[in-house]
Amino acid sequence: MAEKCGHFIGQQGNIAIYCSKPKHEGYDKCFAHDEKLIAEREQARADLNRKAALCDQLVNIARGCHDYGGGYREPSESEIYHHGIQTVVNALEAALKDPNAFQVRMLESIGSRVHSEKA
């Protein structure tokens, strides 16, 4: 039998009511009452929201690069530049839509390999 949470819930007349749910594994109280666990969940939620906002921001930055044009004035260079940036924008938009899509994962895998080879 798992140890009980024991969080004070309230008073009913002379009787104190304590939470009788089992402690969450590795924590002092149950899933609903452990302050450390609640803080960790809030932190994880905040991290997820921040990452989601960052993803939108990254796509907008790539779109901005496309509009900015990279300073290329020669039509042929400009065309190559725009084609390259459009590939990045498309890949980021695809990743936002479905982070587990095959091509998205393949690009990510190539990118992480290239990055770790440089480090």
Contact 57, 64 (CB under 8 A): no
Residue 23 sits in the site that holds Zn ion (CB under 5 A)? no
Q: Where does residue 6 fall: left (phi above 0), alpha (psi -120 to 50 degrees), or beta otherwise?
A: left
**Residue span binding Zn ion (CB under 5 A) among the ranges 16-24, 36-44, 72-80, 88-96:** 16-24
> Does residue 92 belong to the site contacting Zn ion (CB under 5 A)?
no
Candidates 5, 62, 91, 92: give the one binding Zn ion (CB under 5 A): 5
Out of 4, 19, 38, 82, the residue judged to bind Zn ion by CB under 5 A: 19
Residue 38 touches Zn ion, criterion: CB under 5 A: no
Cβ–Cβ under 8 Å, residues 59 and 92: yes
User: Would you say 20 or 57 has its CB closer to Zn ion?
Assistant: 20
The answer to the question of residue 7 lying near Zn ion (CB under 5 A) is yes
Distance CA(58)–CA(13), nearest Å, equals 58
Radius of gyration of the chain, Cα coordinates, nearest whole angstrom: 25
Of the candidate residues 23, 33, 81, 89, the single one contacting Zn ion (CB under 5 A): 33
Query: H or E segment at 12?
Result: strand 8-12
Q: Which residues bind Zn ion (CB under 5 A)?
A: 5, 7, 19, 21, 30, 33
